[in-house]
Chains A and B, each alone.
Chain A
């Protein structure tokens, strides 16, 4: 009887700890999102570097125009590959509906100690099935990982400068990408016709975007 009582007390205490940790993770996430929501309209210079094995493109420069809450327009000199979804979009996809927040161990990202919060969206149909965020003591998100249903895993690393708002000076996006296969008759690339990689083979890609000269409106 005594054992049962002790076990029940243990379970109760454990559920209390778990609940409080989950509540803390949720409040941390919400506080971090609030910092992002406070970012006003801005324009800044950007520099884009793409690293995908089979895409050769030099550095591109231009301007980014941000309109709250989450719209970004680009003005790039020439043609450029940008991430399909910026960190605002991915963040919104995970946190706009109901979700469960879990607090994991602390980790260090770019020499900054961060709380790790795992977000599980309640919507079973959600494209993003899992999100994980590394949040520092200033409530800045240093890293995000999104596991998506169809497009593999995204990792976003954010470095910050000295700006007043939670805007990054550099965002690195890592993603999975399928090899592009085009018929030689369409491309005229008759020489490569025999040596394509296996269909649908995935490789890792990376985009680095450097932000500078922020002008807040």
Chain B
């Protein structure tokens, strides 16, 4: 299994598309952080326009913590696409170029091969999120330094700088879990097809549809929303509340783990039964 995993990771590192995700994240981080460096005060002025008529705001608003929180919002929309680029191709790509047949001729068993691919995809996903965390934190720290975190969620929450590290650790952990659902989904779809485009576009289409349902048809879909995995993609934000709704976070964790198991099981069963004809 270790040899298989090493081999899968090697294949991922050899693909140019692997670095598209890291490059895109770096560009997003650089763009947002320098935009705030140049015009942050103006942007924040718009946000605080109403409050400044009543309050005298003392202290730094834009800090490394504020920017890292802002960049975490990128998770919901952009990172799933970047993950699909690699994980959606992980089985179907090899099926398309014929190397999957060669791999299956080796004495590893299909379960091990699928799980090695799933693990490699998961490691890539974790790497991408950690890269987002690290790049946004390091650059944010250099440009803005430490400071309290101001969060606009169900009102305004202000957290002391000393009270945010653990929240970010949990939030990024929750983000990794959500992105693992995306990776598992795209690997599952990848097991059904023999071309790379299908799983990537398919996964993105599913995410877009579910996101629209979750945000637009909130009232209509209310009864089923807790069971849709995209609903829980924003659960990381719950760690940035004064009174944390732990029960809601636990629900999010269980639902997402459930989906990871479901997608991986379906993919695995399909992969085991699949006729590899190319």
**Chain A partners chain B:** yes
CB of A151 closer than 8 Å to a CB of B:
yes
CB of A146 closer than 8 Å to a CB of B:
no
Residue from the list A78, A151, A187 in contact with B161, Cβ < 8 A: A78
Residues of chain A contacted by B234 (CB below 8 angstroms): 188, 190-191
Instruction: Assess the B155–A175 pair: CB atoms within 8 A.
Output: no
CB of A82 closer than 8 Å to a CB of B:
yes
Cα of A150 to Cα of B54 in the assembled complex, Å: 11
CB of B205 closer than 8 Å to a CB of A:
no
Which B residues, 208 to 230, have Cβ-Cβ distances below 8 Å to chain A?
A: 215, 218-219
CB of A192 closer than 8 Å to a CB of B:
yes
Report the tally of A-B residue pairs with Cβ distances under 8 A. Answer: 99
Residue from the list A78, A181, A193 in contact with B147, Cβ < 8 A: A78
Residues of chain A contacted by B157 (CB below 8 angstroms): 56-57
Instruction: Assess the B154–A82 pair: CB atoms within 8 A.
Output: no
Cα of A84 to Cα of B57 in the assembled complex, Å: 8
Residue from the list B47, B52, B218 in contact with A182, Cβ < 8 A: B47
Instruction: Assess the B155–A80 pair: CB atoms within 8 A.
Output: no
Contact count band on B: 35 or more
How many whole Å from A127's CB to the nearest CB in chain B?
11
CB of B138 closer than 8 Å to a CB of A:
no
Residue in chain B with minimal CB distance to A89: B56
Instruction: Assess the B61–A192 pair: CB atoms within 8 A.
Output: no
Instruction: Assess the B160–A58 pair: CB atoms within 8 A.
Output: yes
Instruction: Assess the B237–A79 pair: CB atoms within 8 A.
Output: no
Known A-B contacts A55-B156, A56-B158, A187-B153; A78 and B148 likewise in contact (beta carbons under 8 Å): yes
Residue from the list B55, B61, B70, B215 in contact with A83, Cβ < 8 A: B55
Cα of A129 to Cα of B56 in the assembled complex, Å: 22
How would you classify the secondary structure of chain A's contact residues: helix, strand, loop or mixed?
Answer: mixed
CB of A217 closer than 8 Å to a CB of B:
no
Residues of chain B contacted by A57 (CB below 8 angstroms): 156-158
Number of interface residues of A (CB under 8 A): 34
Instruction: Assess the B158–A83 pair: CB atoms within 8 A.
Output: no
Instruction: Assess the A82–B237 pair: CB atoms within 8 A.
Output: no
Which A residues, 165 to 201, have Cβ-Cβ distances below 8 Å to chain B?
A: 175, 177-178, 180-182, 186-194
How many whole Å from A210's CB to the nearest CB in chain B?
16
CB of B53 closer than 8 Å to a CB of A:
yes
Cα of A20 to Cα of B60 in the assembled complex, Å: 52
Instruction: Assess the B59–A79 pair: CB atoms within 8 A.
Output: yes
Residues of chain B contacted by A175 (CB below 8 angstroms): 54
Residue from the list B47, B55, B60, B155 in contact with A82, Cβ < 8 A: B55
How many whole Å from B119's CB to the nearest CB in chain A?
31
Query: Which of B's residues lie within 8 Å of A, judged by CB?
Result: 47, 50-61, 70, 73, 76, 147-148, 150, 152-158, 160-161, 215, 218-219, 234, 237, 241-242
20 A-B pairs in the complex with CB atoms less than 8 angstroms apart: A53-B155, A55-B155, A55-B156, A56-B157, A56-B242, A58-B160, A78-B161, A79-B60, A79-B61, A82-B56, A83-B55, A83-B56, A84-B53, A84-B56, A180-B50, A180-B155, A187-B152, A188-B73, A188-B76, A192-B153
4 shortest A-B CB distances, which residue pairs?
A54-B155, A79-B59, A188-B73, A187-B152
* Extra A-B contacts (20), CB below 8 Å, given A78-B148, A188-B237, A190-B215: A54-B154, A55-B155, A56-B155, A56-B158, A56-B242, A58-B160, A62-B58, A78-B59, A78-B158, A78-B160, A78-B161, A79-B57, A82-B55, A84-B55, A180-B156, A188-B73, A188-B153, A188-B234, A189-B152, A193-B215
